[in-house]
């Protein structure tokens, strides 16, 4: 049975063009890019071509792109560099709905003595600008706020957030892992100091990402050792992965205009059909400003983990807004920050689409899911404990 994959915010299929571009660098052009000889030097040229492609996707200069092992390393590199650049400043700001790659670092820093403000969101997951303005001050070293939320797709006003951070004398970093390749991410327009992105979210290979650092912004490396990446990130270059990332970035830039309309149409069809077919469900997130491929739907009075298990029986892949799969019974921190009632947050499913999904696949999900929800509600411990369904 064919797999119906609606979990593209978790990872994406490597494009055939990307795979083909990578292949020679495993068995033919396998030299160390830092070597002095010609054989290795050819690989250095391939890396710089990849850097140009990633930079073009961000509207950056190639010299502003530092390759990393992924979005998590890029996030940590940005955060710790900012704190070392401003050692006297002890105040830092992020949002309450960040990816754990940022959120857990800030929680750790809070235990180490930093004054941390976690800015809240409203019922649609929108960043609380008034709270942000109230806590931003001259002691703020860094503001790190995601460009788009990985669970709901809600897009944050990063340009305005960055401008306010700069006015206060702070650096601004954005985790744009979910935004890059899905919506325009122009670092010059936003005036970001640093930005994190990842290859495997845009149909490139896993284990490679990038940190954009604006020219003129002081950067102190997180990983030291060799002279790679102009001494900004040590470690032997993963040439096949970097070539793949560059090819994926090139294709993403060329097809972005088409991608946005295509996947948004499929997402809306899926949402509208499920809302019409299943009572007591709601869409989570800002429906006017969110990623075109992301739909987070709460199905009241059932558990997200059970929904996923039954969808998996039909070879349908999605993910849960709940942390059940990690062994916790608590719903997603994102949905809880939004004030979604427990009976709905606990049964949330994220459908994240790609350009490879089809209307036929959407039709299959719409056919399969309503009976699953009905069956689960009949045996749910929440059965008979209904509350008013939040606004859809």
Q: Can you give the residue ranges of every domain in the chain?
A: 4-10+256-378, 16-252
Question: For residue 325, is pLDDT > 50?
Answer: no
With CA atoms as reference, report the closest residue to 331 among 123, 383, 279, 340. 340
Q: What is residue 32's predicted lDDT score, i.e. its pLDDT?
A: 80
Q: What is the pLDDT of residues 43-98, one digit of tens each?
A: 999 999 999 999 999 999 999 999 999 999 999 999 999 999 999 999 999 999 99
Residue 385 has pLDDT above 50, yes or no: yes
* Alpha carbon distance 46, 166 (integer Å): 36
**Of 197, 281, 324, 389, which one is the catalytic site residue?**
324
% of the chain at pLDDT higher than 90: 85
Cα–Cα distance for residue pair 8/150, rounded to 1 Å: 10
Rounded to a whole number, what is the distance in angstroms from the first to the last CA of the chain?
A: 33
- Mean pLDDT calculated for residue range 349-360: 97
Instruction: Pull the structure tokens for residue 201.
Output: 């979210």
pLDDT band at 322 (very low <50, low <70, confident <90, very high): very low
Average pLDDT over residues 9-34: 93
Predicted local confidence at residue 306, as pLDDT: 94
Nearest to 338 by CA among 100, 115, 153, 116: 153
d(CA 23, CA 240): 7
Strand-pairing partners, residue 319, are: 350
- pLDDT tens-place string over residues 159-175: 999 999 999 999 999 99
Task: Please check whether residue 69 is in contact with residue 83, taking contact to mean a CB–CB distance below 8 angstroms.
Answer: no
Quote the pLDDT of residue 1: 74
Residue 93: helix, strand or coil by DSSP?
A: strand
CA distance 234 to 224: 5
Catalytic-residue membership of 281? no
Examine the pLDDT at 111 and tell me if it is beyond 70.
yes
How far apart CA 227 and CA 61 sit, in angstroms, is: 20
314 vs 3: CA distance, rounded Å: 8
Q: pLDDT by residue (tens digit) across 235-274?
A: 889 999 999 999 999 999 999 999 999 999 999 999 999 9
- Whether 4-10+256-378 shares its CATH topology with 16-252 is answered no
- Residue 155, pLDDT above cutoff 60: yes
Pick the CATH number of 16-252 from 3.40.640.10, 2.40.50.100, 1.25.40.80, 3.40.1280.10: 3.40.640.10
Classify 298 as helix, strand or coil. strand
pLDDT of residue 321: 57
pLDDT value at 39 more than 60 = yes
Angle between helices 239-277 and 38-58 (to 10 degrees): 30
Least confident of 27-31, 71-75, 154-158, 268-272: 27-31
Q: For strand 4-5 and strand 316-317, is the pairing parallel, antiparallel, or unpaired?
A: parallel
Answer with the residue of higher pLDDT: 391 or 296: 296
Q: What is the average per-residue pLDDT within 318-336?
A: 69
Average pLDDT over residues 141-169: 98
Protein fold of 4-10+256-378: 3.90.1150
- Contact status, residue 149 vs residue 350, Cβ threshold 8 Å: no
pLDDT tens, residue by residue, 112-141: 999 999 999 999 999 999 999 999 999 999
User: Which alpha helices (H) appear in the chain, and where do they start and end?
Assistant: 16-22, 24-27, 38-58, 71-85, 100-111, 129-135, 158-167, 187-190, 228-231, 239-277, 304-312, 333-337, 342-345, 359-378
Per-residue CA distances from 237 to 26, 35, 68, 76 (Å): 13, 11, 9, 19
Output the average pLDDT for the chain.
Answer: 93
Which residues 6+ apart lie within 8 Å of 347 measured at CB? 298, 299, 300, 301, 302, 303, 304, 307, 322
Instruction: State the pTM of this model.
Output: 0.94
Percent of the chain with pLDDT over 70: 95
If one counts every other C-beta atom within 10 angstroms of the C-beta of residue 285, the result is: 28
The DSSP result for 109-165, as a single string, is HHHTT-EEEEE-B-TT--B-HHHHHHH--TTEEEEE--SB-TTT-BBP-HHHHHHHH
């Amino acid at each position: 049975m064919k797999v119906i994959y609606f979990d593209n915010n978790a990872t994406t299929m490597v494009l055939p063009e990307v795979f083909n571009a990578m292949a020679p660098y495993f068995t033919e052009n396998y030299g160390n890019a830092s070597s002095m000889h010609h054989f290795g030097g050819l690989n250095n040229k391939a890396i710089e071509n990849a850097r140009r492609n990633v930079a073009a996707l961000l509207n950056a200069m190639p010299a502003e792109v530092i390759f990393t092992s992924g979005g998590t390393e890029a996030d940590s590199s940005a955060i710790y560099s900012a704190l070392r650049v401003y050692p006297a400043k002890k105040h830092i700001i992020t949002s309450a709905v960040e990816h754990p790659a940022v959120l857990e670092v800030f929680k750790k820093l809070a235990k180490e003595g930093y004054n941390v403000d976690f800015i809240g969101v409203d019922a649609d997951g929108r960043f609380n600008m008034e709270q942000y303005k109230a806590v931003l001050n001259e002691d703020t070293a860094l503001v790190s706020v995601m460009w788009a939320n990985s669970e709901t797709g809600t897009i944050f006003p990063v340009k305005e957030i960055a401008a306010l951070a700069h006015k206060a004398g702070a650096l601004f970093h954005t985790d744009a892992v979910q935004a890059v390749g899905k919506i325009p991410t122009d670092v010059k327009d936003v005036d970001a100091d640093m930005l994190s992105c990842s290859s495997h979210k845009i149909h490139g290979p896993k284990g490679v990402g990038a940190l954009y650092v604006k020219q003129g912004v002081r950067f102190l490396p997180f990983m030291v050792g060799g002279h790679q990446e102009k001494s900004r990130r040590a470690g032997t270059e993963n040439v096949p992965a970097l070539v793949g990332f560059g090819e994926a970035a090139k294709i993403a830039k060329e097809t972005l205009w088409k991608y946005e309309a295509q996947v948004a149409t499929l997402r809306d069809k899926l949402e509208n059909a499920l809302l019409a077919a299943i009572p007591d469900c709601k869409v989570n997130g800002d429906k006017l400003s969110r990623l075109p491929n992301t739909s987070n739907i709460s199905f009241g009075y059932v558990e997200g983990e059970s929904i996923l298990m039954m969808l998996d029986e039909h070879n349908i892949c999605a993910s849960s807004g709940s942390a059940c799969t990690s062994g916790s019974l608590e719903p997603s921190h994102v949905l809880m920050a939004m004030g979604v009632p427990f009976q709905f947050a606990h049964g949330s499913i994220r459908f994240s689409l790609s350009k490879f999904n089809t209307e036929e696949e959407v039709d299959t999900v719409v056919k399969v899911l309503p009976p699953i929800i009905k069956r689960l509600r009949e045996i749910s411990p929440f059965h008979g404990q209904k509350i008013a369904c939040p606004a859809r």
